[in-house]
Structure 1
Amino acid sequence: MSQALEEHTEELLSAARTATGDELRSLTYFTEEDVEQLYLRSDLSRTADLVGFAESERHGFHAQSLYANTQLGDYFFTVRVFENGYLTRVIANGHGVWVTTDSMEIDRFEELASALAEILRSFDSP
């Protein structure tokens, strides 16, 4: 675990818990090179393919540049909807996190993404 990640793990987890409450399933940090699961709710299995998920979510680094200067404005975050919950990806300053949750109200995703992006912006560039 990098020093920057060690310094910010509790802050990221606290922000995710505050925004999602008991619906928080997992929190995973990633960069272009690394992936580290920071939290997994105790009732869930550790069988998820983090590397596979990371490969998919790393496309977000490229998407940020693709969406730059469009009429949509700046890219903020991505929410993916699944049968058993949601995945929210946030990328800032070369760092990313994805959070999985149970179902929850849609406005809570914006709160979650905003809080996590603010923390990621304080990281040093990878």
Structure 2
Amino acid sequence: MTVHEELREPLVSAARAAIGDDLRSLVSFTPDDYEQLYLRSDLDSGADVRRFVEYERLWFGAAGEYGPSELGDYAFTVRAFTDGYVVRVVEADRGAFATTDRMPIAQFSEVATAMRGVLREN
């Protein structure tokens, strides 16, 4: 079983619990590999996931790059698009990102915390 297969159930459950029906997709990634763990049934499975993964991989070291800050520790990243968002978390040598429909900004903290918890535990 790959790291992605081990993460599928707990990551999808955590993201669905935090985001609900606004969850569009969920991807687990490492520096060398990735897997789309979830894709909502009304979406096209031909989307270019690799392009998003390649960009998100660039930021594996970003959390440490901020160093001590008056803002506290780095927690997660949200990218806003016209029709939705990407929320990404990284924990050591693995990460995950979820794409969502438009939703209240407060929900991002909840989903990031849930996803990070799964990455730490598994």
TM-score range relative to shorter protein: over 0.9
Aligned residues of 2:11 and 2:118 also touching (Cα < 8 A):
yes
Q: CA deviation at 1:96?
A: 0.5
Aligned residues: 122
TM-score w.r.t. length of structure 2: 0.93
The letter for the 2-side match of 1:61 is F
- Structure 2: any 5+ residue segments left out of the alignment? none
Matched, 1:32 2:31: yes
Q: Deviations over 1:31-74 (max 9, x none)?
A: 11011000001111122222211111012212112112233321
Q: Identity over aligned residues, as a percent?
A: 51
Match of 2:69 in 1: 70
- 1:9 & 1:80 partners in 2: Cα distance? 23
Report how far residue 97 of structure 1 moved.
0.5
Provide the C-alpha distance between the structure 2 equivalents of 1:12 and 1:75, rounded to a whole number of angstroms: 20
CA–CA separation in structure 2 for the residues paired with 1:88 and 1:45: 20
Report the counterpart of residue 9 of structure 1 in structure 2: 8
Which consecutive aligned stretches of 4+ in structure 1 deviate over 6 angstroms post-superposition?
none
Two-structure CA RMSD over aligned residues (Å) = 1.3
TM-score by length of 1: 0.90
Contact preservation (8 Å) 2:4, 2:34: no
Q: Which amino acid aligns with 2:87?
A: T
In structure 1, list runs of 5 or more residues that go unmatched: none
